[in-house]
Amino acid sequence: MALLIVASWKRQLHLWHRWLGIVLGLLVLLWFGSGIVMMYVPYPSLTEQERMAWLAPIDARLVRLNAWDAWQAAAHPNRANPAAPAALPAEVRITTVAGRPAYHFKADGHWLSVWADTGQPVQVTPKLAMSSARSAAPGAQALSAELIDIDQWSFGRLQDHRPLYRVQADDTAGSLLYISSRTGELVRDTTRSERAWNWAGSVIHWIYFTPLRTHGQPWRQVVMWTSGAAMLLVMLGMVLGIQRLRLRRRYAGGRRSPYRGWQAWHHWLGLSVGTLMMTWLFSGWLSVTPFDWLSSPGVTAQDRLAFAGGPLNRDDLSIAVADIVQRHTGALELEWRRVDGQLYLSALDRAHRQLLDADTGASAGPLPPARLLHAIQAMRPGAQLQSVQTLTSEDSYHYSHHHTAVLPVLRAQFALADDTTFYIDPAQGQLVGYADRNSQWNRWLFNGLHQLDFAAVLRARPLWDVLVISLCLLGGTATLAGVTLGWRRVRKR
């Protein structure tokens, strides 16, 4: 009786492994291939370096209003009592849009823009969108614009700018440019080559198909359950593979495996890289924070407000912007930034970003340690600051995968149960990182397992490339063998 139960149990394991492989095997195979593509072609985004190259300098002669006057005109253009106070924006910037300086105000989670020369709200039309996109496609002879909410290449952190103008250029790169309908700024760019590679990379790997991805929670559930089922598939395969392995009482001919051909490839490669495959699938499952496990708040809006020492006020918006722009003739963008109640301006030019004194326009970074310490303590006023250290090299939780993280940086650790830690850029007066106990666990279980990112030495290229590609090819070959066997089984039936 016991033998019959064991035999039935093994039969069920085989059936589950077989049919999960038939259903999910091809997807797992594509995950290996798309993972290799993503090592070199990420999902489209607009980088700071691209903005530095494409933004036009602000013309101080055209800046005829300060930010306060522009905000008053934008917030209440037709109000009966112009002297009545208006609610203040949470963020303020000034850039050049289609050849004219414009203030950009963020209030209630959305952007609102005003021309700095006239005080009129920026009305983003298809013509203005094409003009704004021109700098990113200088070789184009013709541009066309259409208003969209979302498409295949505009997922991500663009919600505050929607709807978007999608501008298509006829340049040799096949540029597709996305312009904010609220500010008139370029917020994302893609090329034909980038889009083609993404179909083989990010789209497959993240199951980023527009009809599904536009619905956040259903997409998250699909990723969570498919990766979970795939993890079960590999786990069953490992159990069965170990059961069929004979190290002492060998099969006929002295073989340790009973299989030949594709079955033998599947058996041996599965045993060799099965554990790695499970860790990759497990860490991929973690990427969507299943059941809110290991969720972390990160740097919150409340943290930023406390670090700033309060919201922007009328005096902050009343500074003489034109004078500062005149002093920094190459400025592409000025961003209002408060630290511990003191206003600064973050200025971007063709070479770098620097912090300026809002009154004089002189360079202000790095900020005084006393001011930074007071701003840091304000984020957790009831907690003890356990340590504040200046890091000149990356640590395990402040680093960038294959890029240089912001350095030097202040690491401020609070004596709290969740090991709350903030990372602050003293040169820019900005919060650049956060870690707590959950995010620390997630760093090792996701970044470590999914990207083999356990130490700086493993991130060094081309060592990392060779290691990851080799393992992906091994895992892909094991999966290909399983897909082939499954296809044969289906054809027989």
Taking the domains of the chain in order of start, what are their residue ranges? 1-41+209-294+463-492
What pLDDT does residue 400 have? 87
pLDDT tens, residue order, the chain (493 aa):
555 565 677 888 889 999 999 999 999 999 999 999 999 999 999 999 999 999 999 999 999 999 999 999 876 554 443 443 457 999 999 999 999 999 999 998 889 999 999 999 999 999 999 999 999 999 999 999 999 999 999 999 899 999 999 999 999 999 999 999 999 999 999 999 999 999 999 999 999 999 999 988 999 999 999 999 999 999 999 999 999 898 888 988 889 999 999 999 999 999 999 999 999 999 999 999 998 899 999 999 999 999 999 999 999 999 999 999 999 999 999 999 999 999 999 999 999 999 999 999 999 989 999 999 999 999 999 999 999 999 999 999 999 877 778 999 999 999 999 999 999 999 999 999 999 999 999 999 999 999 999 988 888 889 999 999 999 999 999 999 999 999 998 888 6
Q: Which two tokens stand for residue 296?
A: 């972390």
Helices (H), 300-399: 301-308, 314-317, 321-327, 369-379
| Helix or strand (DSSP H, E) at 95 | strand 91-97
Asked if 37 and 206 count as a contact pair (C-beta separation under 8 A), the reply is no
| Helix or strand (DSSP H, E) at 70 | helix 67-75
Nearest to 231 by CA among 450, 444, 392, 436: 450
449: number of CA atoms within 13 Å, CB side? 18
What's the rounded Cα separation, in Å, for the pair 152 and 174?
16
What's the rounded Cα separation, in Å, for the pair 472 and 192?
26
Asked if 256 and 245 count as a contact pair (C-beta separation under 8 A), the reply is yes
Asked if 348 and 51 count as a contact pair (C-beta separation under 8 A), the reply is yes
**CA distances in angstroms from 114 to 64, 69, 101, 442, listed in the order given:** 12, 10, 9, 42
Helices (H), 414-462: 437-442, 449-451, 456-459
Helix (H, G, I), strand (E, B) or coil at 313: coil
**CA distances in angstroms from 64 to 102, 322, 446, 472, listed in the order given:** 11, 7, 50, 58
Q: Residue 190: what residue type?
A: T
Nearest to 63 by CA among 18, 121, 102, 8: 102
| β 342-348/353-357 pair status | antiparallel
Helix (H, G, I), strand (E, B) or coil at 102: strand
Q: Which two tokens stand for residue 184?
A: 């008139």
| β 100-107/110-115 pair status | antiparallel
What pLDDT does residue 252 have? 85
What's the rounded Cα separation, in Å, for the pair 169 and 163?
19
Nearest to 28 by CA among 171, 172, 335, 233: 233
What's the rounded Cα separation, in Å, for the pair 421 and 396?
12
What's the rounded Cα separation, in Å, for the pair 223 and 231?
12
Asked if 408 and 391 count as a contact pair (C-beta separation under 8 A), the reply is yes
Q: What is the pTM for the complete model shown?
A: 0.91
Q: Write b or e for each residue in 145-154: b if 16 or more Cβ atoms lie within 10 A of its Cβ, otherwise e.
A: beeeebebbb
Burial class of residue 173 in the structure, from the number of CB atoms within 10 Å of its CB (0-12 exposed, 13-18 middle, 19+ buried): middle
